[in-house]
Amino acid sequence: MKAAVYEGPRTVAVKDVPDAKIEHPCDIIVRITTTNICGSDLHMYEGRTSFESGRTLGHENLGQVVEVGSAVRKVQVGEYVVLPFN
């Protein structure tokens, strides 16, 4: 899949990264359909945090659930969800 990858202050690249996978029983995989930046993304982009190079940016998203872990009870595959920063 494609992701916005932080490479250092004021440097972001769209790169191929491994597809997400269920790693814990409470995990949910969402196919992102819409996203936006947040003020905290700008802090990282501008180098005002200790965000490490190679990490993926983005945490204000909307998308469709494509897989859920074994402990997930309130969200089902096919539903659309909003993923706020918190």
Q: How far apart are CA 32 and CA 62, in angstroms?
A: 6
Instruction: Please give the Cα distance from 7 to 79 (Å, whole number).
Output: 33
Neighbours of 41 (CB within 10 A): 19
Q: What is the per-residue pLDDT for 36?
A: 79
Query: Which pLDDT does position 69 carry in this prediction?
Result: 98
In the predicted model, what is the mean pLDDT of residues 63-78? 97
DSSP 41: H
**The domain defined by 2-83 carries CATH number 3.40.50.720:** no
- Please count the other Cβ atoms lying within 10 Å of the Cβ belonging to residue 68: 20
Predicted pLDDT at 44: 87
- Give pLDDT, residue 59: 77
Tens of pLDDT, residue by residue over 9-33, are 999 999 999 999 999 999 999 999 9
- Whether the model pTM is above 0.85: no
Number of other CB atoms surrounding residue 28 within 10 Å: 19
Read off the pLDDT of residues 42-57 as tens digits, 9 standing for 90 and up.
888 898 988 899 998 8
The domain limits of the chain are: 2-83
